[in-house]
Amino acid sequence: MNDRSNTVWVIVIVLALLSVLFASLKLHPVRKKWQNAVMRAQNTNIGTDQELENVIGFLEDRLKYRLGYEFSLEKEPMRLTNVVYLTDASGKRISGKRTSKIKVTHVINGKIKYAGIYYKGQNFTVVEGDSLVGGRVKNIGKFGITVEKQGQDKFYDVETTSLNDQQMKLGDK
């Protein structure tokens, strides 16, 4: 080999070493970041699995408690409304808050007309001419009653659906 070839090879080797040196200097911080990421990954507990297991355990314990609960009317008679929603025949929810309101529950049309009244937690049966809450039952009709009180007439409608309405609804289906 002549001197010219040797010089070219030396230049190529020096350039290769310089490029490897610059590349290693450039990649050294990346290597450090990679090692830090690997260390964090090894020290990290996957939290979602543990959190999910805690939630599932809580729900299972709560379900076991609820399955073990036995509702008894004798033990908690006042909590019935928390379990069952009471409704009248038309499906309206009975709140029980306004017990002083007159509610006509039913009307019986016959030779003598009767009406069922619910007032202050009690059921009453009235006919035309009976006194009711400081007034007088003036008329009992198909859809409710008229009460005359202090010279004014007030109509109370029946709060349930009639049998004919229910039959029509069933016929529509």
Cα separation of 121 and 111, whole Å?
29
Per-residue pLDDT averaged across 62-79, rounded? 70
Q: What is the mean pLDDT of the chain?
A: 79
Residue 109 and residue 123: Cα distance in Å, rounded? Answer: 18
CATH number for domain 103-172, candidates 2.160.10.10, 1.10.1840.10, 2.30.30.830, 1.10.3720.10:
2.30.30.830
Q: Does the model's pTM come out above 0.85?
A: no
How many residues are given for the chain? 173
Distances (CA, A) of 163 to 21, 88, 108, 135: 98, 14, 12, 29
β-sheet with 122-127: strand ranges across? 103-108, 114-119, 122-127
Give the per-residue pLDDT at 135.
Answer: 87
Cα distance between residue 84 and residue 164, in whole Å? 28
* Residue 5 backbone dihedrals phi, psi, to 5 degrees: -65, -45
- Each residue's pLDDT tens digit, 76-103: 556 555 555 566 666 666 665 555 678 8
pLDDT of residue 62: 87
Q: Of 164 and 4, which is predicted with more confidence?
A: 4
**Whether residue 1 has pLDDT greater than 80:** no
Q: Is residue 64 over pLDDT 90?
A: no
How far apart (Å, rounded) are the C-alpha atoms in residues 153 and 151? 7
Parse the chain into domains and list their residue ranges. Answer: 1-44, 49-84, 103-172
pLDDT, tens digit, 9 for 90 and up, residues 154-163:
888 887 655 5
| CA torsion, ordered 96, 135, 157, 116, to nearest 10 deg | 70
CB atoms near residue 33 (< 10 Å): 10
pLDDT of residue 12: 95
The yes-or-no verdict on residue 59 having pLDDT over 70 is yes
